[in-house]
């Protein structure tokens, strides 16, 4: 019988790519999510019955243990960018990661991959980064041979970074950003998935920081995005003191409305994160150690950002028509 991997958060942005790759490796894949009825799109990743979404809440021991029964490996992709309701940073990213590792170890599972993030640091200013670091520590306490992956900002067709700002570029002549000089090393989501597969197959363990071949400031990334979507916009750098005030106001609005009005800009915790560069450390293990050549942004971004162009799918046709002679 083929081996089985349980992927917590397997229908999310990164998880779905890991699920697809593991199915291609011939493994059976359990996609553990809170709403399996909304994750049915993963079933065609493999043959009939090979990839199955199952109900799981990472905050519950019984739920987490049930979906790893019979598994040969587990992958935890569960993470949040902002807190909501009972899904707090500590409960999801620190305790949740530790719960998966603890129960996997108790079940005799010896292989685990944990998706963390560059900047994970128990002494970081942001709670997001603090809990990512605590999650790593909790995993390694129970699964010392686990693989920890720390990607920089991840891009791909379903991302919430380039897609978000490309959508914003359609609204007016100004594109506001917080931390325009902060540097990132964007990494393609399928390259992160390829690294995770190495861990599931037992070919690598330890901590790896994952970044693509390009390092650029937030402003430079927005300039690249605007060039692809063929829009001219003024990139306005919002000073951190102003961003903190706006974030506080929107956080309070979300709180008093009990979440009915979500923070549409950035939370205070996200503003703290944007003050720090998000690039691979010079002494960190990375793609080269895994034998993976990361994809450049230029080879991927046009494939999904074209829909934000003024002429959408017809942009290339219109550009070609300009070269026709009467």
Q: 């046009």: which residue's tokens?
A: 302
**Structure confidence at residue 326 (pLDDT):** 52
pLDDT in tens, the chain (326 residues): 799 999 999 999 999 999 999 999 999 999 999 999 999 999 999 999 999 999 999 999 999 999 999 999 999 999 999 888 889 999 999 999 999 999 999 999 999 999 999 999 999 999 999 999 999 999 999 999 999 999 999 999 999 999 999 999 999 999 999 999 999 999 999 999 999 999 999 999 999 999 999 999 999 999 999 999 999 999 999 999 999 999 999 888 888 887 777 777 789 999 999 999 999 999 999 999 999 999 999 999 999 999 999 977 766 666 666 676 65
**Structure confidence at residue 312 (pLDDT):** 76
Paired strand residues for 236: 176
Residue ranges and CATH numbers for the domains of the chain are 4-154+185-211+279-294 (3.40.50.720)
CA distance 75 to 15: 9
**Structure confidence at residue 20 (pLDDT):** 98
Closest to 184 (Cα-Cα) out of 306, 278, 303, 78: 278
**Structure confidence at residue 64 (pLDDT):** 97
Encoded tokens for 323: 């070269």
Residue 313 vs residues 121, 257, 269, 302, 304: alpha-carbon distances, Å: 43, 40, 37, 11, 10
Q: 């620190």: which residue's tokens?
A: 94
- Terminal Cα-to-Cα distance of the chain (whole angstroms): 66
CA distance 63 to 100: 10
pTM: 0.93
């Amino acid at each position: 019988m083929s081996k089985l991997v349980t992927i917590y958060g397997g229908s999310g942005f990164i998880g779905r790519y890991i699920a697809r790759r593991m199915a291609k490796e011939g493994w059976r894949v359990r996609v553990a999510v809170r709403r399996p009825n909304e994750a049915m799109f993963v079933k065609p990743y493999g043959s009939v019955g090979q990839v199955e979404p199952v109900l799981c809440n990472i905050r519950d021991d019984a739920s987490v243990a049930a979906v790893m029964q019979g598994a040969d490996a587990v992958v935890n992709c569960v993470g949040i960018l902002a807190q909501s309701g009972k899904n707090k940073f500590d409960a999801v990213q620190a305790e949740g990661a530790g719960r998966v590792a603890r129960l996997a170890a108790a079940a005799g599972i010896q292989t685990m991959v944990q998706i963390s993030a560059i900047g994970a640091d128990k002494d970081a200013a942001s709670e997001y980064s603090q809990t990512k670091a605590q999650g790593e520590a909790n995993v390694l306490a129970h699964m010392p041979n686990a693989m920890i992956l720390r990607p920089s900002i991840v891009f791909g067709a379903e991302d919430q970074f380039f897609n978000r700002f490309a959508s914003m570029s359609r609204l007016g002549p100004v594109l506001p950003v917080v931390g325009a000089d902060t540097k990132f090393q964007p990494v393609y989501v399928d390259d992160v998935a390829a690294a995770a597969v190495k861990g599931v197959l037992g070919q690598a363990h330890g901590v790896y920081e994952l970044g693509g071949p390009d390092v650029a400031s937030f402003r430079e990334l927005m300039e690249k995005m605007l060039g692809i979507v063929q829009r001219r916009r003024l990139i306005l750098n919002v000073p951190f003191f102003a961003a903190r005030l706006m974030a506080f106001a929107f956080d309070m609005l979300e709180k008093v409305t009990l979440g009915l009005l979500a923070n549409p800009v950035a939370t205070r915790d996200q503003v703290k994160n944007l003050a720090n560069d998000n690039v691979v450390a010079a002494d960190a293990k990375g793609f080269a150690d895994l034998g993976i050549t990361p994809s450049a942004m230029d080879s991927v971004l046009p494939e999904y950002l074209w829909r934000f162009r003024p002429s959408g799918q017809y942009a290339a046709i219109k550009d070609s028509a300009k070269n026709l002679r009467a």
